[in-house]
Structure 1
Amino acid sequence: MTPVLARRNPVAKLAAALLFALPLVSTLDPLTPAIGVAVELAVLPLFGVSAGELFRRAWPLLLSAGGILVTMVLFAADRSGTPLFAAGPVEITSGVLLGALGLVLRVFAVALPGVIVFVTTDPTDLADALVQNAKAPARFAIGALAAFRLLPLLGQEWQALTLARRARGLDAGRNPVARLRLFASTAFALLVGALRRGGRLATAMDARGFDSGTTRTYARRQIFRRADWALIAAAALLSSAALAASVVSGLFRPIIG
């Protein structure tokens, strides 16, 4: 049986994710995004998403967290707080680590709702719901669906291009400069192939009447129920509660002002 929140309308899940994530970027303190991440991890079972699956989908966020930490340590302008470590021009203080922690947690708090939504939502259902419930243009929604369906092909094409170049003797070996040049040329070839496929796809969709302007019918109706409104309201309430906890604790640091 599909978990209770995974059954909700795709537009409702998308709106709930936006309402929950946006207030979390209004403050620089680490408490608000920490509460947000805790709430997101707590509702994972209600969406039917395991911790392992979430890690497989969101592991690039760990790389971004490492980059943020290094950047803050090297280039942070505010180095107030207790000095913890110093090596030449690099000085690590409690203020630097607190700022880096807040930024890392904010990245996770904003990105995880989107990951959860797209893991539990069928792309076709999302496109149908955008047109039926959000009144998005059919050309945009169906085009986005087609592009999403073609994303897995990019990995296959990258592998095919790499093998083809290796078969022609184009191998960078251990030379980092040659590796970078080979990567850039392969990425350009992949981009050209993607643009050509996109043009053919657009022509094929127009030929099949996807932009005819006539009223469309749908095989699967997307109904917006009371439970969907409840999900949106709960997301807004929880996000506001996290922000209120920051204000009450005295840690609230608005981004503007």
Structure 2
Amino acid sequence: MSTVTAAPTRLTGVNPVAKLAAALVIAVGLVLSIDWVSASTALILEMILLLVLRVPLRTLFTRAAMVTLAAALTAVTILLYGESRGTVHWHFLLITVSDGSITLAVATFLRVLAIALPSVLLFVDTEPTELADGLGQVLRLPARFVLGALAGVRLVGLLGQDWRYLGYARRARGVADQGRVKRAAGQAFALLVSAIRRGSTLATAMEARGFGAHPTRTWARPSPFGRREVALICAAFVIVAVAIATSVATGHWNLIATR
């Protein structure tokens, strides 16, 4: 049986710690100001970077659509309940749509999009094991914490399968014939009990195999950090620097601390 593998990109093989650092640099730089100029500038540069990194267009559009929807919902909330300033276009009870709320909603939409998009797309081909290797070897985080988190992430994928099997078993016994709400509540409790038991068993097994012995911990796979990783982080700094410089030069810089 053949398996379909994702098309390789220039992000393939890049240390996940560098991707995490690049996403963090962009997020910290853009969260300092609420203005549409810095956010839109960063967004354009990010799209160029993602195209240079050869992120598949299908993946780019699919995940961008999901992020856009989340950003739009946030912008709608700001539009209806944001700062009232300038001309009021519509008012109803607590809802006020004004020039100030419209401007703030646009800036918020672009900023959420500019922050979330690289955070999602930079990890498009990153495996949890690779991220754990990087956190343990590059950032020197405690192996007990890293491997425990990795094991937890691995088990998350089993929740859906357990939910289906619990449903099949309860229907076979005639427990879930009526009452969807009651059935869902009982099945959710059974899933919680099953997850706790599996987690306890996994923790005992890991302790028995020495996963808690940090001084003697070795790593099966090396996690190199070289020029590609440094270039990615430098690109993130360039994006933030150009976005802030453009915003300041056009007079749209709006530092959050001064609001």
TM class by smaller structure:
0.7 to 0.9
Alignment pair present for 1:169 and 2:177: yes
Distance apart, 1:210 and its partner CA: 0.5
2:22 maps to 16
2:4 maps to none
Distance apart, 1:32 and its partner CA: 1.6
2:96 to 87, 91, 94: 91
2:49 maps to 43
For residues 93 and 218 of structure 2, the distance between their equivalents in structure 1, rounded to whole angstroms, comes to: 68
Distance apart, 1:5 and its partner CA: 3.2
SS in 1 for 2:231: helix
- Residues 85-133 of structure 1, C-alpha deviations (whole Å, 9 max, x = no match): 4456633222212111222222222222221232121221211121111
1:75 to 68, 81, 85: 81
| Preserved contact between residue 47 and residue 120 of structure 1 (Cα < 8 Å) | no
For residues 16 and 51 of structure 2, the distance between their equivalents in structure 1, rounded to whole angstroms, comes to: 18
SS in 2 for 1:91: strand
1:33 maps to 39
| Preserved contact between residue 17 and residue 131 of structure 2 (Cα < 8 Å) | yes
Structure 2 residues not aligned, in runs of 5+: 1-6
| Preserved contact between residue 35 and residue 254 of structure 2 (Cα < 8 Å) | yes
The 1:222–1:158 alpha-carbon spacing in structure 2 relative to 1, beyond 3 Å, is same
For residues 62 and 191 of structure 2, the distance between their equivalents in structure 1, rounded to whole angstroms, comes to: 25
Distance apart, 1:194 and its partner CA: 2.8
CA RMSD of superposed structures (Å): 2.7
Q: Which amino acid aligns with 2:219?
A: Y
Q: Which amino acid aligns with 2:211?
A: F
| Preserved contact between residue 85 and residue 100 of structure 2 (Cα < 8 Å) | yes
Distance apart, 1:26 and its partner CA: 0.5
1:150 to 151, 155, 162: 155
1:242 maps to 243
Which moves more between the two structures, 57-66 or 116-125?
A: 57-66
Q: What count of residue pairs does the alignment treat as equivalent?
A: 249
| Preserved contact between residue 11 and residue 126 of structure 1 (Cα < 8 Å) | yes
Q: Which amino acid aligns with 1:33?
A: A
Structure 1 residues not aligned, in runs of 5+: 173-177
The 1:33–1:193 alpha-carbon spacing in structure 2 relative to 1, beyond 3 Å, is farther
- Residues 1-55 of structure 1, C-alpha deviations (whole Å, 9 max, x = no match): 8332333222112111111221100101122222222222222234443243245
1:7 to 5, 13, 24: 13
Alignment pair present for 1:121 and 2:93: no
Q: Which amino acid aligns with 2:141?
A: A
SS in 2 for 1:118: coil
Give the TM-score normalised by the residue count of structure 1: 0.83
The 1:109–1:195 alpha-carbon spacing in structure 2 relative to 1, beyond 3 Å, is farther
Q: Which amino acid aligns with 1:116?
A: L
2:59 maps to 53
SS in 1 for 2:257: coil
1:228 maps to 229
Which moves more between the two structures, 206-215 or 247-256?
A: 206-215
Give the TM-score normalised by the residue count of structure 2: 0.82
Distance apart, 1:185 and its partner CA: 5.7
For residues 201 and 215 of structure 1, the distance between their equivalents in structure 2, rounded to whole angstroms, comes to: 20
Q: Percent identity?
A: 43
For residues 86 and 109 of structure 1, the distance between their equivalents in structure 2, rounded to whole angstroms, comes to: 30
